[in-house]
Amino acid sequence: MTLQAVGIGSSANDGNGDTLRSGATKINANFTEIYAAIGNGSALTDIIDGNGLINVSSGANKIVFYYANLSDLPSAGTYHGAVAHVHATGGLYFAHGGVWVRLNDETTGPVTKYTAGVNGSTAYTFTGPGATSGNNPNFTFYKGHTYLLDNTANVGSHPLQIRVSSGGSAFTTGVTDNYNSTTGLTQFIVPHEPSDSSLVYQCTSHSGMVGNITIV
């Protein structure tokens, strides 16, 4: 049924609108359709429950969680438990522990994210799955896996770069700096045939901020 609008005339009390009975009939018909569509005919049982929560009990439901870029995602801390699709990466993410975690798929392989901190201008520190505490921890990265090094909080003073050796040139195979237009976020998809099996991460401004990356 299409919406039945109550005729109200052209101006107040012009005698051209619906009668009270006709208008009330249209209103009842509109509400009857609503209560049948998202309820049981007499009560609203779907969509929003009494606690303000989405509650849909039947049907082929469709809710789009679309974001163009990683930088468009809302706060993972505020929206803990939320899910989102990021078009630029083609990935599905969920919010947990204050970060957006990407789900693995057959095109990217496992994805692991480490968030960088700093200890003055002498060392990086990292948090993330299996990260070793302390200064300039060493990493073991696996071929075919994807790693995200999130240095967005420190990039202004301590830009991080993956290099072939301490003080050496940048290692670029599989590496995307400023990934997804996010300054300070480095993506490293470890190739199956790397030209080097031993790399480093290093601050481009402070040479002492350096740690080893072993490729296996």
On whether residue 80 sits in a domain, the answer given is no
We report the CATH number of the domain holding residue 185 as 2.60.40
Q: Which stretches of the chain are DSSP H helices?
A: 20-37
Nearest to 211 by CA among 160, 169, 154: 160
CB 215 within 8 A of CB 198: yes
- Degrees, nearest 5: CA angle 73-77-83: 50
**CA dist., res. 72 & res. 100, Å (int):** 12
Q: Among residues 14, 32, 47, which one ends one of the domains?
A: 47
Beta carbons within 10 angstroms of residue 152's beta carbon: 15
**CA dist., res. 104 & res. 146, Å (int):** 10
On whether residue 77 sits in a domain, the answer given is no
On whether residue 93 sits in a domain, the answer given is no
**Predicted confidence (pLDDT) at residue 4 exceeds the cutoff of 70:** yes
36 and 118 inside one domain? no
On whether residue 135 sits in a domain, the answer given is yes
Q: What's the structural domain count of the chain?
A: 2
Task: State which residues form the domain around 11.
Answer: 1-47
How far apart, in Å, are the Cα atoms of 130 and each of 31, 113, 139, 140? Answer: 56, 10, 10, 10
Mean pLDDT of the chain, nearest integer: 89
**Between residues 28 and 99, the one the model is more confident about:** 28
- The answer to whether the predicted template modeling score (pTM) of the entire model surpasses 0.85 is no
List pLDDT tens digits, range 107-144.
Answer: 667 888 899 999 999 999 999 988 888 999 999 999 98
On whether residue 120 sits in a domain, the answer given is yes
